[in-house]
């Protein structure tokens, strides 16, 4: 009934994307397949005047659907998976003419990769289970 704001089609991408959301986005098999397809595919990246990163060319939503589902039709399921990956900050989806073109946000991906690698076997932060004095967190 009530129309929703036509001004902003897309929900804002998390500027400080929380890692749980990124991991969660990758934690669903279909989304991971989409992500891997995008990585194998839409590699060239151009940097905008304003410094924004955008894919120079990448698959359209329709092409992603075709690859993932094997069918010809665009499905809302894939669209919604792309949305979750985009909101998490892992991919970009932007209009180019009639189509929406997908790309990988390489910065976000490599930052997530570094997070996993960085303090692997790093004992510096070893404030282990002894000091449980003040645990109250105010989030």
- The neighbouring-strand residues paired with 93 are 102
Query: Interaction with its own copies in 27-66: which residues (CB under 8 A)?
Result: 27-29, 32, 39-45, 57-60, 62-63, 66
Q: Which does 15 bind (CB under 5 to 8 A by kind): its own copies, DNA, none?
A: none
Q: Which does 82 bind (CB under 5 to 8 A by kind): DNA, its own copies, none?
A: DNA
State the Cα–Cα distance between residues 120 and 31, nearest whole angstrom: 26
Query: Interaction with DNA in 38-97: which residues (CB under 7 A)?
Result: 60-62, 65, 74-77, 79-84, 93, 95, 97
19 binds its own copies (CB under 8 A): yes
Tokens representing 84 are 């979750």
State the Cα–Cα distance between residues 90 and 85, nearest whole angstrom: 5
Q: What is the dihedral of CA 87, 90, 102, 39, to 10 degrees?
A: -160
Q: Which does 13 bind (CB under 5 to 8 A by kind): its own copies, DNA, none?
A: none
128 binds its own copies (CB under 8 A): yes
Least CB distance from residue 113 to DNA, whole Å? 22
13 binds DNA (CB under 7 A): no
Phi, psi torsion values for 83, nearest 5 degrees: -60, -45
Total residues in contact with DNA, by rule CB under 7 A: 32
Phi, psi torsion values for 42, nearest 5 degrees: -100, 75
């Amino acid at each position: 009934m009530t129309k929703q704001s036509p001004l902003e089609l897309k929900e804002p991408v998390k500027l400080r994307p929380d890692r749980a959301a990124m991991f969660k986005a990758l934690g669903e098999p279909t989304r991971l397949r989409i992500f891997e397809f995008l990585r194998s595919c839409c590699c060239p990246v151009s940097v905008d005047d304003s410094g924004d990163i955008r894919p120079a060319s990448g698959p359209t939503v329709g092409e992603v659907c075709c690859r993932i589902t094997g069918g010809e039709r665009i499905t809302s399921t894939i669209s919604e998976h792309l949305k979750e990956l985009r909101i998490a900050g892992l991919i970009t989806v932007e209009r180019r003419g009639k189509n929406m073109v997908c790309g990988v946000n390489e910065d976000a991906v490599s930052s997530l990769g570094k997070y996993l690698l960085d303090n692997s076997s790093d004992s510096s932060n070893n404030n282990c289970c002894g000091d449980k004095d003040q645990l109250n967190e105010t989030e």
